[in-house]
Structure 1
Amino acid sequence: MECVVSLEGLALSQHGQLKYAAAFIDEQIRDIRLENNHIHIVHESPKGNAAIESQVRRLIERFSHGDFGFKENILFEQKVNTPYEGDIIAELVDRKIIKVLEEGLFIFREPFSSLMRFFDYSFVTKVGNRFEGIKEESYPAVIHCETLNKTNHFTSFPEHIHFLTHLREDLDIIEAFSQSIRESGGWKPDAPLDMNTTMPSPKFTMNPSTCYHCYEGLQNETLEGDGLIVSAISKCHRFESRNHSDFGRLLDFSMREIIFVGKPEFVKENRLRAIEYMKELAVEWNVDCMLEIANDPFFTNDFQTKASFQRNQEMKYELRLTIPHIKKSIACGSINFHSNTFGNAFQIKMGKRPAVTGCVGFGIERWTFAFLAQFGLDEADWPATFREQYHAWQQKSL
């Protein structure tokens, strides 16, 4: 079946957000596309077209309700005549450099895996280490549900969460589960499981963002001086339904972050420095990109209020790299200011006042995908400075 709904009255700037959110309407959706100011949803849902259309209209209302206006501004733009315009994903798969396990879940092999390590090394040395006194931390891949509750992640981005649980600590349940798997000839995707009986309510989820662990680790502390700067990389996990078919949108990805916690001016000044460092790196590597005001994809009925506030207060910027083959750009870096949201949530103090926080994030896989999408796998076509730095790093890493 195909459900077609007019988008008349919905601002063009919201069409992409609607398409993204529509993937979560029903598990039986097979395809979503935007054409001629309409959204087309191909599905096999037993609910029928009327139910799908009703849900789409709910989302249209969400994204058009209270049109506060989006502040749009490009802070920096660099246009480059890049040499590669092919389908880099198809080439990487064909050459067995990446193995697609399913949409959004990849195994990375050489040279992609080396480029990932080089990008992270560069972000640490060329951006992170320019901040005096920066400290490196290491975080787990899982996070307490209570920590996500304090960050309001459950209410802002509920669709992304990967919950973790386990079999109950009950010998009868464990043995019965194991026996049922043996009898059915191994694990089956549609294996009937009584979750309430066999598994407890989750205490953990997979970590959706690197910086959350930093704030969790500072809970109930009072910081000295102007604040602190932390660098960390961790695996992050976000479920994004059919959106994983979009270029660079992974289920499991690596995020290097530089995190600022302290007095308002300390965080704001260092955030501005980070923007300049990111721009310098883009120029040095000669990538086709732009830096613009952005907003998070809030999955809430007050989306317009939150997103417009974020944009108008310039609380989030994104560095977007062009993907020539699809004639679009993807966000590869973000620069965020959270005010005292996390300082209040985790009782992090600067004297008697809550600390202010901000962070700079680099998507390692996305940077690698985007770079190769612009310059291809032939190193002779890479920007000279980037190629020299990569080869120097390779020699150092031997």
Structure 2
Amino acid sequence: MTPTIEEQRIAFGKELIAHGWLIPTLAYGVNGLGGQAEAVVEGLQALSSKIARQQEYAQLNTLRFPPVNSQNLLRRTDYVASFPQLMGLVSTFAGESKDHGKLLAAAEAGDAWEKQLEPSGFALIPAVCHPLYAHLEGKTVDGECYQLTGECFRNEPSEDPFRMVAFRMREYVVLGTEEQAKGHRDRWIELAQQMLESLGLAIVSESANDPFFGRAGRLLASGQREAKLKFELLAEIFPGHPTAIASGNWHQDHFGANFSISAADGSVAHSGCFGFGLERIMLALVARHGLDLASWPHDVRSALSL
């Protein structure tokens, strides 16, 4: 019997663990990276940076935000309304000694000790670009490009190595006029496809939608796809089952309006971003070139400085 796509993905994940590419933890979807995997991810970041420096941006700003922010950011970006199923909030212990005793007793008994915790007001970041919009609140922008790398959290635990709960994204974000933002997204869809194909991957670009929640979400998803706001770059890692490894988004003036960001012409700023799923691309390269990094094609290893 032919294995299902889920079985194929899980079997691939076990191979990655056996050969030290992935390091399992106590939670599904939360994986460490071995030395070879991390070297590939670092190479991908360096290669994308090289491409970014070759573009004619008024300015290329490299920023780094932590993977935790105020939970208010989830509300300000409308993530609470659109993707509640993917959110992650941070709870902490705020009790006294007697409360600590209850917590310890529950933990030792195997009970739900986490009920002794309280919301902290912090949230895990679901998208690397979200803190940028809060950083630019009330400012005027004119097509500057921001290079961002960071950890994202999506509550989708799975044994599928391509479906990680915690993962890194390298994003290129431009805010400005509609022309600047949309043009940036379109340019990077082309640049990224060329980059990924130069590494030996067969890439297809397709219009896509985000996993909006609920009945209203289905309408939003349909509208997003119809307006071609989101495109994904897909690699056929398993025959007949293409996997998204990067995406380009034009948010229109959504974040500009939510954070009072203006374009140079006085209009509400539009934003466009392109994001590389670093672990997903690394996994796609392993599936394409094999588990022995030393046997990868010379031009691929050279491009990634391996």
Q: Which residue of 2 aligns with 1:152?
A: 78
AA aligned opposite 1:239: N
Q: How is 1:73-222 mapped onto 2 (pairs within 5 angstroms)?
A: 87-101=11-25, 102-127=27-52, 129-132=54-57, 133-168=59-94, 173-183=95-105, 190-195=111-116, 198-199=117-118, 201-222=119-140
Distance in 2 (CA, whole Å) between partners of 1:293 and 1:119 is 24
Distance in 2 (CA, whole Å) between partners of 1:288 and 1:302 is 35
Q: Which residue of 2 aligns with 1:342?
A: 255
Distance in 2 (CA, whole Å) between partners of 1:339 and 1:276 is 20
Q: How is 1:1-398 mapped onto 2 (pairs within 5 angstroms)?
A: 87-101=11-25, 102-127=27-52, 129-132=54-57, 133-168=59-94, 173-183=95-105, 190-195=111-116, 198-199=117-118, 201-223=119-141, 226-241=142-157, 244-324=158-238, 327-350=240-263, 351-379=265-293, 381-390=295-304, 393-394=305-306
Percent identity of the aligned residues?
Answer: 26
How many residues in Structure 1 have an aligned counterpart in Structure 2?
297
Alpha-carbon shift at residue 188 of structure 1 (Å): 6.6
Secondary structure in 1 aligned to 2:17? helix
CA contact (8 A) 2:200 2:288 kept: no
CA contact (8 A) 2:193 2:203 kept: no
Deviation string, structure 1 residues 9-46 (Cα, Å, up to 9, x no partner):
xxxxxxxxxxxxxxxxxxxxxxxx99xxxxxxxxxxxx
The TM-score, its normalising length taken from structure 1, stands at: 0.69
Q: Do the aligned partners of residues 175 and 291 (structure 1) sit closer, same or farther apart at CA in structure 2, a change above 3 Å counting?
A: same
Distance in 1 (CA, whole Å) between partners of 2:183 and 2:123 is 33
Secondary structure in 2 aligned to 1:257? strand
Alpha-carbon shift at residue 222 of structure 1 (Å): 2.2
Secondary structure in 1 aligned to 2:215? coil
Secondary structure in 2 aligned to 1:339? coil
The RMSD of aligned alpha carbons is 2.4
Secondary structure in 2 aligned to 1:203? strand
Secondary structure in 2 aligned to 1:306? helix
The TM-score, its normalising length taken from structure 2, stands at: 0.88
Secondary structure in 2 aligned to 1:111? helix
Alpha-carbon shift at residue 119 of structure 1 (Å): 1.3
Q: Note the residue ranges of structure 1 that are not aligned, 5 or more in a row.
A: 1-32, 35-84
Q: Do the aligned partners of residues 188 and 103 (structure 1) sit closer, same or farther apart at CA in structure 2, a change above 3 Å counting?
A: farther
CA contact (8 A) 1:128 1:231 kept: no
Q: Do the aligned partners of residues 131 and 376 (structure 1) sit closer, same or farther apart at CA in structure 2, a change above 3 Å counting?
A: farther
Alpha-carbon shift at residue 388 of structure 1 (Å): 2.2
Larger Rg: 1
